[in-house]
Chains A and B, each alone.
Chain A
Amino acid sequence: EAEVAQSPRYKITEKSQAVAFWCDPISGHATLYWYRQILGQGPELLVQFQDESVVDDSQLPKDRFSAERLKGVDSTLKIQPAELGDSAMYLCASTTTTRYEQYFGPGTRLTVT
């Protein structure tokens, strides 16, 4: 069964450093989401892509976060500079335009020290 791939699975970085996460959605899934999940909370949407276009990035802290999906396939989420409060699980999810259920990747657990 096809799965959403994410890397790295774990990342430890010092505050003020740059960090990047990668996501490869299920083949053929045009819609891609990046979520942040703080321990004990539900996923919170950071950015949504439809193909290579950003549909919604209203919750993305744009002073330090950026996201791209240049060819409409895989995607990168970057944080620069990282802050202590960015420690969380970063989840990527994808879906088709005809079905609504989202398929989540395993996530990247970020720890900022």
Chain B
Amino acid sequence: GQQVMQIPQYQHVQEGEDFTTYCNSSTTLSNIQWYKQRPGGHPVFLIQLVKSGEVKKQKRLTFQFGEAKKNSSLHITATQTTDVGTYFCAGRTGAGSYQLTFGKGTKLSVIP
């Protein structure tokens, strides 16, 4: 079955440093979504990427979808304590499929 792998599993950064998490799929994806889960909370949708090579920005967050549509990354510039949480990528295979396969997530800690 489809597998989605994320690295690193944990990342500790000093406030103001940048952060990147990487996501790789064993199969080509129709699209990929990113979610953020705060400690004690539930996953919250951040963004969806659909096109090969797509890059989207949300303030300090930059999301990329690889040319082969098998990998993706999330980059946070100048982290803040509010960025703390676990970031999950979730891949979808078929265009008509509503199912997501989640990665194990990258847990971000920001040291003030």
Contacts and interface: CB of A to CB of B under 8 A. Distances in A.
Interface in B1-26: 4, 6
Nearest to B105: A42
Nearest to A104: B42
Contact of A44 (B41, B43, B102): B102
Given A100-B48, A101-B48, A106-B42, A45 B103 contact: no
Contacts of A107: 42
Contacts of A97: 98
Contacts of A42: 4, 6, 88, 90, 102-105
B48 A48 contact: no
B104 A40 contact: yes
A73 interface: no
Given A42-B88, A42-B104, A104 B99 contact: no
Chain A CB count within 10 A is highest, among B90, B98, B103, for B98
A93 B44 CA distance: 10
A91 B43 contact: yes
B64 interface: no
B79 interface: no
Contacts of A14: none
A100 B33 contact: yes
A104 B4 CA distance: 20
Given A43-B88, A95-B98, A106-B42, 19 more contacts: A41-B105, A42-B4, A43-B43, A43-B102, A48-B98, A48-B99, A50-B98, A91-B42, A91-B43, A97-B98, A100-B33, A100-B92, A101-B33, A101-B45, A101-B48, A102-B43, A102-B45, A103-B45, A104-B43
Interface of B: 4, 6, 31, 33, 41-45, 48, 88, 90, 92, 98-105, 107
